[in-house]
Amino acid sequence: MASTFTARLQVELEEFKRTGVYKRLNFLDSPQSARVRMEGRGDVVILSSNNYLGLCDEPEVIAAGKAALDRYGAGTGSVRFICGTFTIHRELEAALAALVGTEASLSYVSCWNANEGLCPTILGERDAVISDQLNHASIIDSVRLARTIGKCQSLVYRHSDMADLREKLEAVKGARTRLVFTDGVFSMEGDVARLADIVELARRHGAIVAVDDSHGTGVMGATGRGTAERAGVMGDVDIVTSTLGKALGGAAGGFTASSAALCDYLTQRSRPQLFSNALPPTVAASALAAVRYVTAHPERVARLHDNARYFRGALEDSGFKPLAGETPIIPVILGETARAIRMSELLLEEGVFVTGFGYPVVPQGQARVRCQVSAAHTREHLDFAIEAFRKTGRKLGVI
Ligand SMILES: *Cc1c(COP(=O)(O)O)cnc(C)c1O
């Protein structure tokens, strides 16, 4: 490669390091579970994984993947519409639709792709999308594509601000299709979209609603069917996008769940479907086993929330001030980026893996360590982590 180009990259990488955005990678040598083996560290309790239900290493989920590897081979070898659609995709998609309460669903290799395949495919010049300010990067990019390729209007409303959403809906009332797009659970804050209000507002304005429930599927609601279940609006959300890479086995994959017509339309038109391979059958089979597991074991969802309440309470009793909330995402705000990074380093020395997040991922001055509790944790794991938090919190003068 041209040396001037490489030199430029090196200068920029140095700048990342100086400003604290450079991310050091940790290498794991075991499945995701309550504890993981980290290269050079041994076993640590992990509070940074999206493995909310502990299904990454659930025997049924692993066995389903292995069986599919034998039955269908390593990969699809094609995109969906040529010869990449397998019977396991159809089974998975029916199960996902039943889980989130829609007529149909369509799988993608990631939720990133599901989102990217949505807005630019369904929105054109006469349409508008209205997006929450704190939406995930994949929604933001989907909107950007729809704006630049499809020339649709795009507006952003202040985070969970229903008055602002109403104003934005009124501002585009002449548009043909108005789509309100929100995260179900906001991953940096751990708060939940005001979905019942959003659905009601949208209905009143003749708009449709899309929810990216990546941190909600398998997590929110009494039986893990997502943010819509918790809000009492199952079946009223027009479009649900979500990931298979978090609670549902954690491998990879995503989906869009909606009417049969929309899923068919996306199958025909969305570019990640048309130009990128289908989800590997092994991954589809593991995800299907994960969906079946969630459906058969609501007590796993209950355990997740018991654990989250317990951990949140223990942090508060220890003098920390985690952000208020009811999700298993529990951020502890520490202020400056360097402080959050230092806290996560000290915690790792104590055998607890929690990632620190700073600017620009979160606003300046609101750097944090973000804890994610799992149903895989026992009380002993959580107590061990709390002890480490107390020790490091005292050392840094946080408590
Ligand atoms: C994690 C996440 C994604 C990306 O999911 P992948 O399947 O890993 O691409 C998309 N949206 C939200 C809200 C997420 O939290």
Buried residues in 358-378 as b, exposed as e (16+ CB within 10 A): bbebbeeebbbbbbbbbbbbe
The answer as to whether 13 is a domain residue is: no
Q: What is the pLDDT along the chain (399 residues), one digit of tens a residue?
A: 679 999 999 999 999 888 777 888 999 999 999 999 999 999 999 999 999 999 999 999 999 999 999 999 999 999 999 999 999 999 999 999 999 999 999 999 999 999 999 999 999 999 999 999 999 999 999 999 999 999 999 999 999 999 999 999 999 999 999 999 999 999 999 999 999 999 999 999 999 999 999 999 999 999 999 999 999 999 999 999 999 999 999 999 999 999 999 999 999 999 999 999 999 999 999 999 999 999 999 999 999 999 999 999 999 999 999 999 999 999 999 999 889 999 999 999 999 999 999 888 888 899 999 999 999 999 999 999 999 999 999 999 999
Distances from the Cα of 357 to the Cα of 30, 71, 230, angstroms: 24, 42, 28
Going from the Cα of 139 to the center of ligand 1, the distance in angstroms, rounded, reads 9
Going from the Cα of 183 to the center of ligand 1, the distance in angstroms, rounded, reads 10
Q: Are 197 and 271 in contact (CB under 8 A)?
A: no
Q: How far apart are CA 284 and CA 254, in angstroms?
A: 10
Residues 304, 166 share a domain: no
Residues 304, 273 share a domain: no
Residues 336, 287 share a domain: no
Checking DSSP bridges between strand 208-212 and strand 191-192, what pairing results, if any?
unpaired
Spatial neighbors of 206 by CB under 8 A, at least 6 apart, are 178
Going from the Cα of 243 to the center of ligand 1, the distance in angstroms, rounded, reads 6
Q: Where residue 173 sits, what CATH number does that domain have?
A: 3.40.640.10
Assess whether 187 carries a catalytic annotation. yes
Assess whether 246 carries a catalytic annotation. yes
Q: Are 273 and 79 in contact (CB under 8 A)?
A: yes
Structural domain of 387: 20-49+298-396
Give the chain's domain count: 2
Residues 354, 284 share a domain: no
Q: Which pLDDT does position 247 carry in this prediction?
A: 98
For ligand 1, say whether the CB of 215 is within 6 Å of any of its atoms.
yes
Q: Are 279 and 256 in contact (CB under 8 A)?
A: no
The answer as to whether 106 is a domain residue is: yes
For ligand 1, say whether the CB of 160 is within 6 Å of any of its atoms.
no
Closest CA to 48 of 318, 344, 301: 344
Q: Where residue 338 sits, what CATH number does that domain have?
A: 3.90.1150.10
Closest CA to 134 of 365, 328, 356, 363: 363
The answer as to whether 281 is a domain residue is: yes
Distances from the Cα of 44 to the Cα of 10, 279, 294, 350, angstroms: 32, 31, 26, 8
Residues 128, 271 share a domain: yes
The answer as to whether 7 is a domain residue is: no
Residues 320, 239 share a domain: no
Going from the Cα of 214 to the center of ligand 1, the distance in angstroms, rounded, reads 6
Q: Which pLDDT does position 23 carry in this prediction?
A: 84
Cα 262 to the center of its chain, rounded Å: 22
Residues 215, 149 share a domain: yes
The helix (H) or strand (E) run that includes residue 19 is: helix 3-19
Strand-pair partners of 333: 368
**Position in ligand 1 atom list of the atom nearest CA 183:** 13
Among the candidates 274, 296, 318, a domain finishes at 296
Q: What is the pTM of this model?
A: 0.97
Beta-strand runs (E) in 35-148: 35-38, 42-46, 104-108, 128-132
Q: How far apart are CA 332 and CA 48, in angstroms?
A: 13
For ligand 1, say whether the CB of 153 is within 6 Å of any of its atoms.
no
The answer as to whether 157 is a domain residue is: yes
CA 318, 321, 326: angle at the middle one, nearest 5?
Answer: 105
Q: Which pLDDT does position 20 carry in this prediction?
A: 74
pLDDT in tens, 152-161: 999 999 999 9
H helices present in 172-297, as ranges: 195-204, 227-231, 260-269, 271-275, 281-296
